[in-house]
Chains A and B, each alone.
Chain A
């Protein structure tokens, strides 16, 4: 049974990837249909798994790494199921829509493949029961988002927005990885359920607060919380289906998902509650204000998405039973109406040629179906009865009013934000579809069915769910809310609460919202006129940071890679000299070996010294090469006389080759044959040489002073003949005992040879001028 569930849980991931592969072979519209079918299949499988197992399903997939303590598990519980249904359901509709929206675009196939890859990543992230698995899928969604935002890669704005989204979510992702590792170390397991079970250990760990802050940073960047909210509106450079799917319904909610997942661990911590409440409130308010000063439909919607994300984070921060239910309800509601509205915005753009809210009006007659979908979704957004948006708004208000000490502030700001949402909803439905019709670049008409299916279905679901909120709650939302709290909840969802203070608040919200809507024509230009928002916003901070980074890289490159060969050599040699000296000093100074003396064999050292002095005195490059050769031969003599004939032989050969090669190269290359350094340079070079020589000498003396452990040499000596059938121990070590090392070394040699060939071929110019 276990095995069957294992497979069933991984199956949709496989189906998604398979569909991506299949779609890559298909062209355009067909690829989109194939993807849509795959998404629907995934939905079905997850539903069956969930129903078949009843509740929480664990699985251990093949990518587990037990040796690193990563079990890689997947798990399907209430919260995961809610996300999975949104991802696959909206995914299927968006893919269908995209096939028609971008019909004829040669890059449509690529878009479909990327959307499917994104879908698989999302599914993996929300079903992962292992923080490492979760992180990998989390980052994959960022990468997919990068490619999708940069879909119109020939436009600089799209490239910039793609990079911005990647840098911000990716930077947050790094923080998240660090935080998750700290949490996993504290809990002693990478399993999410294990971490929740070990919450005391996680909270008691010395690094508990930094770990929490790092995780929060990851979640806040992903879910566009203030001050990182600005990447989301800019990501609207993506094609509209992408915006509807990634940047409203699914990916941006991944941060909210992880906050909800980890809430059972941190929910009692005051800092957690305060940060979530504060960030959420600030984000919601920022989004609402900015939404009112935009006219581009997609940017308006993006800012309201920021508002919704803020509200979700806020609700998780409040987190008693009421707020958890409110959070999951609002999450579902928002996904339904916002995806629908985005798709409507895409239809408007597609069929009228503009998505400027101030240029559109009275389209009801020309596009009746689109108008119906827009109005249904907007009513849900505004929180009007009998839509599920109303249910959500009521319970959100209830949760905010129960938010303890800060209830007044939270509910007060919430009231203003909701009024702004009502105004935006009115803008998107009333102003665009009713009133006088305005001329548009194209003659407007309803789009084909495959584009209408998404918005109509999603908006219709909002109405249906509003009719039976109790059923939706019991089937879907209770399980999800239970995951946020770590225990079952019992908050029945009702459409009608009776005449309560919350109802009065709702009525007042709608009233204020209508007022704002009526005054939008005058309010919007005023808000736009406040240029401080553009000058001082965090988005400017991002630009400055990016420019600073580039300038810094520029500066370091100029200082470090100055292009002077002599300078590189000086740096290398000085580092090689100073590093060992520093170690020697740190270890308590230089130990001199006892009883160093000279014997008859010392004449070899005389040879070395002679070579060194001759090199230093040499006025021509040739003479210097020869003199250095003398040093090499002297060294070889030392080896020979101290019982290392093999090393001496190699040294002799290398010296011969080196002198021959240097001489040959010097003849052919256009280099200075004479020493042209001025006295000051010679003194500087001499200083470098003396430091390096002194350092090496000190190091060798220190080596001699250290006690010698002969065990290795003795072992090789004893085993050379019986083990390797050879009397030359050096050779037996090279070809037998340490043959793998030798294999690696000759591989490096070959690679170096190829590199030299490639480099010199690249600079295929006459090396000898005039020949």
Chain B
């Protein structure tokens, strides 16, 4: 069952639009609806679409690293953001730290974002790993 011409042509669009949307959801998540989990799901949906239209090989190339590796990077990022808490010996594991550098306005930067990026990457890695394994070109 080959993908239709329309699908094949629109494939890049189906990849990059969800990607941008997912990053937007990830960044805004702390103050508005969104976040790492939803962002990760949207990104995964984009990658799965791309795999349907252009084949799994192409989707894997677009990801640069294997899905399982993204899972690991995500987990490490989340864990690392928690370990940063010990910059302050009194704080517990996963107590997030915040900085407000003044660049015209006060930009809120916190380790919570690193944590959310970890969630995002883990979700992307998990969903794509499962779907690609199920659909099974990789296994052959």
Contact = CB atoms under 8 A, between A and B. Distances in A.
A7 interface: no
A747 interface: yes
Contacts of A726: 30-31, 112
A754 interface: yes
B45 to A, nearest CB: 5
Contact of B75 (A645, A650, A746, A761): A746
B122 A749 contact: yes
Which DSSP category, helix, strand, loop or mixed, fits chain A's interface?
helix
Report the contact-size class of chain A (Cβ under 8 Å from the partner): 35 or more
Contacts of B38: 646, 649-650, 653
B49 A660 contact: yes
B71 A753 contact: yes
Contacts of B41: 650, 653-654, 657
B30 A746 contact: no
B112 A660 contact: no
Contacts of A753: 67-68, 71, 125-126, 129-130
A764 interface: yes
Contacts of A757: 68, 129-130, 133
Interface string A743-766: 100110110111011001100101
Contact of A756 (B74, B78, B119, B134): B134
Nearest to B110: A725
Interface in A233-278: none
A752 B136 contact: no
B68 A754 contact: yes
A752 B126 contact: yes
A646 B139 contact: no
B93 interface: yes
Contacts of B140: 764, 766
A3 B98 CA distance: 49
Contacts of B130: 752-753, 756-757
Interface in A642-662: 645-646, 649-650, 653-654, 656-657, 660-661
Contacts of B67: 753
Nearest to A741: B94
Interface in A722-756: 724-728, 730-732, 734-736, 739-740, 742-743, 746-747, 749-750, 752-754, 756
A380 B85 CA distance: 73
Contact of B131 (A650, A654, A664): A664
B78 to A, nearest CB: 5
Nearest to B25: A649
A725 B131 contact: no
Nearest to A758: B133
Contacts, number: 153
B139 A735 contact: no
Given A747-B75, A760-B139, A761-B139, A739 B82 contact: yes
Contact of B116 (A657, A730, A735, A747): A735
B108 interface: yes
A25 interface: no
B11 interface: no
A703 interface: no
B7 interface: no
Residue of B31, B74, B127 with highest tally of chain A CB at under 10 A: B31
A417 B78 CA distance: 73
Contacts of A756: 129-130, 133-134
Nearest to B119: A746
B55 interface: no
Nearest to B29: A731
B53 to A, nearest CB: 11
Contacts of A645: 33
B60 to A, nearest CB: 13
A79 B29 CA distance: 70
B96 A667 contact: no
A754 B71 CA distance: 9
A725 B108 contact: yes
Q: Lowest 5 CB-CB distances: which A-B pairs, in order?
A: A726-B30, A653-B41, A753-B126, A746-B122, A645-B33
7 contacts: A646-B33, A649-B38, A661-B131, A665-B134, A724-B112, A731-B29, A743-B82
Interface of B: 1, 25, 29-38, 41-42, 44-45, 48-49, 52, 67-68, 71-72, 74-75, 78-79, 82, 93-94, 96, 98, 108, 110, 112, 115-116, 118-119, 122-123, 125-127, 129-131, 133-136, 139-140
Given A739-B94, A750-B126, 12 more contacts: A646-B35, A664-B134, A665-B135, A725-B98, A735-B96, A739-B82, A743-B79, A743-B94, A753-B71, A756-B134, A761-B139, A766-B140
